[in-house]
Amino acid sequence: RGRAMQCSVSVGLWVVVTAMVIVGAEAFTYLKRKFGPDPIITYTNPSCRSLPRHNEVVCEGLKSLEEVTSLVSSEQLPQVTTLTIAHANISSFTLDDLVSLTSLHTLMFNFSYVKNWTAPHLDPLPSVTTLLLNHCWDNNMLKIIEKKPTLVLTSQMLSYVPSLEELYLVDCFLMQPEKLEDVKHLRKLHIIDGGVGCDSSNLWLLDWFESGRASISRNTTCYIPTVHDMATLFSLSGRELLMWLRYKKETERECVAPCNCSVTGIKENLDPIIHVDCQEVGLTELPIIPHNTTRLTLDRNNITNMSLLFTSELYHHIDSIALNYNRISYMDGELYYNYIKNRSMDIIIKLAYNGLKTMPVKIMKQVHNEAAKEGKNHLPMFDLSNNPWNCDDCSFLPDFQELVYYQNYEMDPSNIRCANWTSTAGQQVVKLDVNSLCAPDPPLLQPLDILNICMGILLLMLIFNFLHNFVQYKRHGKLPWIITKLPCC
Ligand SMILES: *[C@@H]1O[C@H](CO)[C@@H](O)[C@H](O)[C@H]1NC(C)=O
Ligand SMILES: *[C@@H]1O[C@H](CO)[C@@H](O)[C@H](O)[C@H]1NC(C)=O
Ligand SMILES: *[C@@H]1O[C@H](CO)[C@@H](O)[C@H](O)[C@H]1NC(C)=O
Ligand SMILES: *[C@@H]1O[C@H](CO)[C@@H](O)[C@H](O)[C@H]1NC(C)=O
Ligand SMILES: *[C@@H]1O[C@H](CO)[C@@H](O)[C@H](O)[C@H]1NC(C)=O
Ligand SMILES: *[C@@H]1O[C@H](CO)[C@@H](O)[C@H](O)[C@H]1NC(C)=O
Ligand SMILES: *[C@@H]1O[C@H](CO)[C@@H](O)[C@H](O)[C@H]1NC(C)=O
Ligand SMILES: *[C@@H]1O[C@H](CO)[C@@H](O)[C@H](O)[C@H]1NC(C)=O
Ligand SMILES: *[C@@H]1O[C@H](CO)[C@@H](O)[C@H](O)[C@H]1NC(C)=O
Ligand SMILES: *[C@@H]1O[C@H](CO)[C@@H](O)[C@H](O)[C@H]1NC(C)=O
């Protein structure tokens, strides 16, 4: 028994140790993937080879551009027109290092670290008109979900390549490329693949795109640098850059003061998520908002009429509207019905602290019932707290109570109370005994009452008849007519 015990204990130990080793190894590879050095660079011994076509040379594993001069034969150097630097670590880039390549017009960096662009001093320089940066970077700062090294790009850097006309950025990640307006000689900027930060400072790229000065491929994404792996549901990161820029520009154009508008995401169906904020700015009616606005905050204004929400095409994409602390006293049921039937059911309407006395509860109920019948799992939500509800209105109260009872989101039933001018002032609507408050008035005569009255009358008639017969008999000795007819007497 003891041996068996020992055996099982040691087996258990082994299992635990093995499990720990496996978990540790997993964690190690995970951490390595997450924080380890960037894998794209693999240094080889520096070497150059020439390609058969067009005097092209490819150099790999360089630590400095100067090395080209020693790795390519001096007869070939003046003939090279296209130079590709791949898998290199160039920590100082200046055209001075390429001064002996007199015919050079196209310079490419592939999968390379290229930093510290410095001004050339020699003369004449090779006339490099085309520069291509493919999968290049100069810092490792960026940690997005998948760690990406980024590249800084400024006008000054480009001025160090004075004859540059076309710049290609292939699969590079640029956080905030500086507006390249000053680089007069640059005719065209090509952005292919890769990404650019989702930052409004990058809107100039769209202007360049629209004027034909830049071409941006559809697979170029915009990203938000973040140290967390927190994947927000409708994150902008990884969405098409051009789409985001267009949404951003359009929204800024349509944003009317004093509201603030921002594109905060892109939905699965590629519609934008646009937030508009107009809190406490003294509005008295619903404002003009950008098309496709999805979230609107209008708290603490003096708005009295919310009809525009249901009628204006601008409000058709609203998912959430906050109208707390306004002066709304009425919601049109018919408009609400038409609006809600004609769009997604997923909407939150916040109406706390307004002047609402009633709601079109019959129609709200109908909307719920029809949606339930159609199997829709999103229903419109309301926040109706802190309004002066008219609990004396029995055409409203029972349905309203039911609505409050089943509406379990964003609405604390303890804040839904009767107005203080009603007979149930200040009481919670859900706690009212609606059956007795709104019991139908009893009809004046119940059938049983009528029967009782008839019986009473009959009884009285019998008594009168008896008295009459009795008097007749006393005075005239006359028996009642019915007695004379009876055979027994
Ligand atoms: C590039 O070389 C420099 C030294 O010249 C070194 O400090 C740096 O770490 C290298 N960069 C990469 C990405 O290997
Ligand atoms: C950049 O390169 C120049 C030479 O081209 C060098 O003098 C300078 O120290 C470098 N700067 C940095 C920050 O590496
Ligand atoms: C360098 O990148 C360009 C653009 O992606 C590509 O056409 C070329 O073949 C690459 N050259 C090498 C040697 O990898
Ligand atoms: C990105 O788009 C460009 C042109 O639109 C194309 O050449 C390239 O192959 C695409 N890249 C990927 C990874 O699909
Ligand atoms: C809009 O944003 C600006 C700057 O962030 C701020 O000063 C202003 O109060 C905001 N307006 C509204 C209505 O939120
Ligand atoms: C709303 O109107 C009242 C008086 O009519 C005013 O005192 C208040 O400042 C207004 N609210 C806002 C947010 O403008
Ligand atoms: C609104 O969204 C639609 C896509 O649902 C898009 O076609 C349209 O351009 C957008 N309008 C604006 C002004 O953003
Ligand atoms: C609200 O405004 C609409 C027009 O947008 C108007 O037809 C309606 O009568 C107004 N409602 C109230 C209660 O003032
Ligand atoms: C909403 O109604 C309008 C007219 O009442 C119609 O033109 C539009 O197509 C409808 N939209 C949807 C999504 O049903
Ligand atoms: C009744 O309620 C209103 C606001 O809801 C408040 O201003 C008023 O003071 C209240 N009156 C009493 C008697 O509580």
Compute the mean pLDDT over every residue in the chain, rounded to the nearest whole number: 85
Asked if residue 188 has pLDDT above 80, the reply is: yes
The pLDDT value recorded for residue 33 is 44
When mean pLDDT is compared over 10-14, 205-209, 411-415, the highest value belongs to 205-209
Out of 236-240, 354-358, 409-413, least confident range: 409-413
Of residues 473 and 16, the one with the higher pLDDT is 473
293: Cβ–Cβ under 8 A, 6 or more apart, which residues?
A: 261, 274, 275, 276, 314, 315, 317, 318
The residue nearest atom 10 of ligand 7, judged by CA position, is 292
CA-nearest residue for atom 13, ligand 2, is 116
Say how many Å lie between the CA of residue 219 and the centre of ligand 4: 6
pLDDT of the residue at 53: 76
Tell whether the model's pLDDT for residue 56 goes beyond 80. yes
Ligand 6 pocket mutation pick from 283, 284, 302, 327 by most atoms within 8 angstroms of CB: 302
Dump pLDDT digits (tens) for 140-168: 665 554 567 889 999 999 999 999 999 99
The ligand 4 atom at the shortest distance from the C-alpha of residue 217 is 5
How remote is the CA of residue 248 from the centroid of ligand 7, in Å? 11
Residue by residue, what is the 3-state secondary structure of 214-256? Answer: EEECCCCEEECCCCCCCCCCCCCCCEEHHHHHHHHHHHHHHCC
Residue 9's pLDDT band, with cuts at 50, 70 and 90, is: low
Q: For position 266, what pLDDT does the model report?
A: 87
Is the pLDDT at 181 greater than 90? The verdict is: no
Q: How confident is the model at residue 480 (pLDDT cuts 50, 70, 90)?
A: confident
> Whose C-alpha lies nearest to ligand 1, atom 5?
91
CA torsion through residues 431, 437, 440, 446, sign: positive
Task: Please give all residues whose beta carbon lies within 6 A of any atom in ligand 6, as ranges.
Answer: 280, 282, 300-302
Query: With bands split at pLDDT 50, 70 and 90, how would you rate the model's confidence at 34?
Result: very low
Tell which one of 305, 311, 335, 359 to mutate to probe ligand 8, the residue whose CB is within 8 A of the most ligand atoms: 305
pLDDT at 205: 94
Nearest-atom number in ligand 3 for the CA of 110 is 1
* Window from 142-146, 267-271, 289-293, 473-477 with minimum mean pLDDT: 142-146
Helix (H/G/I), strand (E/B), else coil: 386: coil
Does 16 score more than 70 pLDDT?
no
Residue 28 reports pLDDT greater than 50? no
Ligand 5 atom having least distance to the Cα of 258: 13
Residue 220 Cα: closest atom of ligand 4? 1
Q: Which ligand is nearest to the CA of 310?
A: 8
Residue that has been written with the tokens 């209105």 in this structure:
393
The confidence band for 227, taking pLDDT boundaries of 50, 70 and 90, is very low
Give me the long-range contacts of 295-301 (CB less than 8 A, separation at least 24).
295/319, 295/320, 295/321, 296/320, 296/321, 296/322, 297/321, 297/322, 298/322, 298/323, 298/326, 299/323, 299/324, 299/325, 299/326, 300/324, 300/325, 300/326, 301/325, 301/326
Dihedral class, residue 54 (left if φ above 0, else alpha if ψ from -120 to 50, else beta): left
pLDDT number for residue 141: 61
- Does pLDDT of 37 surpass 80? no
Of the listed ligands, the closest to the CA of 304 is 8
What pLDDT is stored for residue 14 in this prediction? 65
Q: What confidence tier does 229 reach under pLDDT thresholds 50, 70, 90?
A: very low
pLDDT over 80 (residue 253) = yes
Is residue 219 lining ligand 4, measured as CB closer than 6 Å?
yes
Instruction: Calculate what percentage of the chain has a pLDDT beyond 90.
Output: 51
Supply the residue whose CA is at minimum distance from atom 4 of ligand 1. 91
Mean pLDDT of 328-335: 95
Cβ 94 under 6 angstroms from ligand 2: yes
Give the residue-averaged pLDDT of 104-131.
92
Q: pLDDT digit string (tens) for 363-403?
A: 999 998 888 888 877 788 899 999 999 999 999 999 999 88
What's the rounded mean pLDDT across residues 177-200? Answer: 89
Residue 358 reports pLDDT greater than 50: yes
pLDDT value at residue 444: 66
244 CA to centre of ligand 7 in angstroms: 11
